[in-house]
Amino acid sequence: MMRIGYTMMTEQAGPRELVGHVVEAERAGFEFSVISDHSFPWLPEQGHAPYAWSVLGAAAQATSDIPLMTLVTCPTFRYHPAVIAQKAATLQLLSGGRFRLGLGSGENLNEHIVGRGWPSARVRLEMLDEAVEIIRALFGGEYVTRHGRHFQVDDAKLWDVPPTPPPLGIAVSGPRSCALAGRHADLVVATEPKRELLDAFDAEGGAGKPRLGQLPICYDPDRDAAIARAHEQFRWMLGGWRLNAELPLPAGFAQASQHTRPEDVAKSIPCGDDVDAVVEAARAYAEAGFTDLALVQIGGDHQLPFLRWAESTLLPALRDL
């Protein structure tokens, strides 16, 4: 049976609101939570991008039991992997062992701000591979010195090390990233219900490990309003990750999606209050072999009605999958 989680989407809500939302998600019965780690929203209409790690620290204190996770952090441009290791170890201690560190090769949208350029996907995966090795080594609590192709680490050490290191999740989208995840990850992350990604992960050493997916929905009793909001704020998603990893600014996503119609979005994202539509979308992940599914409610101002509906109606239906 899949565990159902809640997404704190930093692109669509401010920091105080995000913490309040995850508190309500815990109360509603969600089994885990994830947070995006962005420096820009995908579209200007979303309007937010607070620092995810500060939100996580507050969420760790405001909640009691719900697991926390980054979905996902890029440890190669904005952040040096040694800094990520320190942040993740601290979060694991603050949360009492509830933190999972999700990692990925990133998007130009968030990483361009440090002015280091945007190399090919192959190079970005090389950098991720090296970064994960550094993070793992630092979780051991010893001094670490590495002189790699992409990163230098000189006598780094974590002085506050959790008894159990945060499990590492790695986002995948193709064979190379699946191979990397199979070597390094404690769980795999994918945003589409593609069985072939999980099979590739298993073949590279991931068999038996958790696999986490993410599903956007747009709850609203008025289906037309839900479709309009999903189109306004989530039409970027239909561009696919090969495009979404490359564009540097929200204006580029707005231009790239200018011809996307509301009906196109409604075909890809469950909109309205039809529980069966959400269950069927979730079923695709269950049948592909996912163990965890994080829901994204579209619209920062529409989280609390969604959470009430999820508690009373949606979560009971999803638990019957």
User: Strand 271-272 relative to strand 168-171: parallel, antiparallel, unpaired?
Assistant: unpaired
Percent pLDDT > 70 in the chain is 100
| Residue 38 a catalytic site member | yes
Nearest residue to 294 via CA among 211, 202, 194: 211
> Among the options 21, 38, 112, 231, which is catalytic?
38
Segment 98-144, tens digit of pLDDT: 999 999 999 999 999 999 999 999 999 999 999 999 999 999 999 99
Mean pLDDT of 311-316: 98
pLDDT at 20 over 80: yes
Segment 242-263, tens digit of pLDDT: 899 999 999 999 999 999 999 9
What is the distance, to the nearest Å, from the Cα of residue 101 to the centroid of all Cα atoms in its chain?
10
| Residue 107 a catalytic site member | yes
Whole-structure pTM over 0.75, yes or no? yes
> Among the options 24, 31, 107, 111, which is catalytic?
107
Q: How far apart are CA 251 and CA 233, in angstroms?
A: 13
Distances from the Cα of 20 to the Cα of 40, 41, 62, 152, 208, angstroms = 21, 20, 8, 39, 34
| Average pLDDT, rounded, for the chain | 97
Q: How far apart are CA 86 and CA 65, in angstroms?
A: 22
Segment 208-247, tens digit of pLDDT: 999 999 999 999 999 999 999 999 999 999 988 889 999 9
